[in-house]
């Protein structure tokens, strides 16, 4: 009986040691594998106020202490639509952690087409409306989709231009690394 208990504990220990948690240098490799350009230095993410689909005003600085996934998109943008299902999966996986996914629609027609699009596809992540392109200009976005990764201290640490598979294992590993810091 003792031997069986010993083998059971040994098995549990082996399982625990088989989990791999990425280091900071591996985090740098993950940025590269995902195709996210790292932003060096302590460049703070510009603060802004925008209205969400519910009409509630959101301010970026309210999310300090969380990793922020900030995505610029539009309903008429094919590549934006391509990455939306993986963004929803990412949001569902990390919404209970120190993480917020904020998407900013730059649809010039405003709220109505965005709300209809989100409801039709049953996406649940937060959407903010920037129909006058103020935040788009503030972040110097030249094309969509563009995504910024902002760390818990409010620093921009990564930028991605073009669609990505946001539910890839590399993205998941990177977000685990960033949210557990």
Distance between CA 47 and CA 18 in Å, rounded? 41
What are the per-10-residue average pLDDT scores of the chain (181 residues)? 46 39 55 90 94 94 96 97 98 95 96 96 97 96 97 96 95 93 77
What would the CATH number be for the domain defined by 2-179? 3.40.30.10
pLDDT value of residue 2: 56
* 76, 101, 141 from 106: Cα distances, Å: 10, 16, 11
Strand ranges across the sheet with 127-129? 37-38, 156-161, 146-150, 67-73, 99-105, 127-129, 49-52, 57-59
pLDDT value of residue 16: 37
pLDDT value of residue 171: 95
pLDDT value of residue 4: 52
Distance between CA 98 and CA 88 in Å, rounded? 16
Distance between CA 39 and CA 155 in Å, rounded? 9
pTM: 0.83
Domain boundaries defined on the chain: 2-179
pLDDT value of residue 90: 97
pLDDT value of residue 14: 37
pLDDT value of residue 32: 87
CB within 8 A of 175, min separation 6: which ones? 67, 90, 94, 97, 99
pLDDT value of residue 12: 37
């Amino acid at each position: 009986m003792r031997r069986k208990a010993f083998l059971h504990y040994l098995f549990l220990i082996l399982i625990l040691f088989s989990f791999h948690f990425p280091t900071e240098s591996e985090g740098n490799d993950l940025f590269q594998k995902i195709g996210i350009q790292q932003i060096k230095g302590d460049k703070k993410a510009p603060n802004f106020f925008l209205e969400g689909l519910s009409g509630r005003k959101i301010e970026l600085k309210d999310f300090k202490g969380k990793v922020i996934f900030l995505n610029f998109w539009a309903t008429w943008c094919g590549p934006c639509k391509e990455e939306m299902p993986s963004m929803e999966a990412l949001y569902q996986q990390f919404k209970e952690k120190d993480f917020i996914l904020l998407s900013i629609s730059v649809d010039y027609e405003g709220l109505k087409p965005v709300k209809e699009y989100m409801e039709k596809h049953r996406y649940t992540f937060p959407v903010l409306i920037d129909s006058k392109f103020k935040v788009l200009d503030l972040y110097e976005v030249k094309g969509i989709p563009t995504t910024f990764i902002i760390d818990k201290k409010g620093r921009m640490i990564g930028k991605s231009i073009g669609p990505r598979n946001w539910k890839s294992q590399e993205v998941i590993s990177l977000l685990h690394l960033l949210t557990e810091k």
